[in-house]
Amino acid sequence: MLHIDSSVFPAEASASRAVAAAFRSHWQEQHPHGTVVHHDLAERPVPHITAAAHTAGFADPASHTPEQAAAFAERIRLIEELEQADAVLIGAPMHNFSIPSTLKAWMDNVILMGRTAGDAPSVKGIPVTIVASRGGSYGPGTPREPYEYVQNYLSAVFGDMLGMKVDFIVPELTMAPHNPAMTELVPLYEASRDRAFEEAAAQAKRLAA
């Protein structure tokens, strides 16, 4: 399993990390001999895409400059990790209506036209579970529904572009216990939290099987 965390907060303060950790724990219980490759992008961010790394993806490797070769080698390492995964787990908290820039950097590196993306994506069919936590509520019918850019964006990239099987676990209203103005929403937060952990357990066990 390839496990990507991107929250800037530590596990005890991050809903996406907590739920992803529960998912991983259940997966490992069912698959004790399985291998987990974990990237904590907050602690060890991957390089943002550069001109050399981008242009190298469209050029014959034999023609790469030393700069292109070095940048492309890092992309290939990340791409191979994704291609070799039987399951992918991504913690994607909502930051300012979108995903953390560190997660976007990782995605820019692994999206390669003609390989992971295009007519025959090399990662097609791989299941990816995304823990899309958020401080408020952005579901259908809520006042902030028009600002839901995380699930829509990640569905387009991982599902439509890369052909992966996408599932979301969405712990929401995570700011309710900390914001006095949201006190009345604490029961809804608690229900969402409990549901997220239940979904993480069920999905992890299903994939491990």
Residue 129: its H or E element: strand 127-131
Estimate to the nearest angstrom the gap between the alpha carbon of 7 and the chain centroid: 10
Mean pLDDT on 119-140: 96
Structure tokens at 185: 């929403």
Q: Which residues contact 120 (CB under 8 A, 6 or more apart)?
A: none
Give the C-alpha separation, 124 to 85, whole Å: 11
Give the three-state DSSP class for 88: strand
Q: What is the C-alpha radius of gyration for the chain, rounded to an integer number of angstroms?
A: 18
Model confidence pLDDT, tens digit, residues 32-43: 888 999 999 999
Q: Are 56 and 112 in contact (CB under 8 A)?
A: no
Q: Rounding to the nearest 10 degrees, give the CA dihedral for residues 132, 135, 139, 142.
A: -170
User: Quick check: 11 pLDDT over 90?
Assistant: no
The whole-model pTM stands at 0.94
Confidence tier at 209 by pLDDT (50, 70, 90): confident
Q: Which long-range contacts (CB under 8 A, 24 or more apart) does 115-122 make?
A: 115/79, 116/79, 116/82, 116/83, 116/162, 117/161, 117/162, 121/161, 121/162, 121/163, 121/164, 122/79, 122/83
Confidence tier at 12 by pLDDT (50, 70, 90): confident
